[in-house]
Chains A and B, each alone.
Chain A
Amino acid sequence: LAKTTQPISMDSYEGQEVNITCSHNNIATNDYITWYQQFPSQGPRFIIQGYKTKVTNEVASLFIPADRKSSTLSLPRVSLSDTAVYYCLVGDLYNTDKLIFGTGTRLQVFP
């Protein structure tokens, strides 16, 4: 499984766009990139997943450059309720379905 590196923490203000970048230099051809969110004392929650280029859903966008060695989770116009830990996961989804979480990025949104 490819190792991931993310910033330990980020601060933002309500209404701003937040971009969290994850580095995964050793990503393999079959690996997908997935982001999860975790609020305190709750289980992780799936946000978005992609393989290459750009993926967008109702919650976030995921940007993946051509070399796939990094990815950026973009949260548009964050609110206080987006304060959480965000995890970037990389793995071969066809050979294993265990999720390997890193330490994640703790996002604090201020009013």
Chain B
Amino acid sequence: EPEVTQTPSHQVTQMGQEVILRCVPISNHLYFYWYRQILGQKVEFLVSFYNNEISEKSEIFDDQFSVERPDGSNFTLKIRSTKLEDSAMYFCASRDLIPGQNLYEQYFGPGTRLTVT
């Protein structure tokens, strides 16, 4: 069964450093998302991306964040200058262009745990 993959599984960085989190969505999917989950808290939407542009973003997704689809398979989330409060699990998700029976079926990756020290 196709799945979303993410690398690295765990990233440790110092405050102020830039990080890039990588995702490979399911190959025929065209909608992409990033979510994050601070330890013990809710899963929070960050951004959705379609047709090489952001379609929706949350208040969390400020100027420090950016997303890119550099080639036909990868989808990245960049945090320019990390803060302590960026420490969280970051999940990538994707879905197909044409909804099937289940309109809300987004497929999530295993996540990248980002630790900012």
Contacts and interface: CB of A to CB of B under 8 A. Distances in A.
Given A97-B31, A98-B33, A99-B35, A46 B44 contact: no
A91 B33 CA distance: 17
Contacts of A29: none
B111 A98 contact: no
A32 B102 CA distance: 10
A42 B43 contact: no
A45 B107 CA distance: 7
Interface residues of A, number: 24
Contact of B43 (A41, A44, A46): A44
B105 interface: yes
Contact of B48 (A46, A93, A98, A102): A98
A38 B106 CA distance: 13
Given A43-B93, A93-B99, A99 B111 contact: no
Given A42-B111, A45-B108, A49-B102, A97 B42 contact: no
Interface of A: 32, 34, 38, 41-46, 49, 87, 89, 91, 93-94, 96-104
Interface of B: 4, 31, 33, 35, 42-45, 48, 56, 58, 89, 91, 93, 95, 99, 102-111, 113
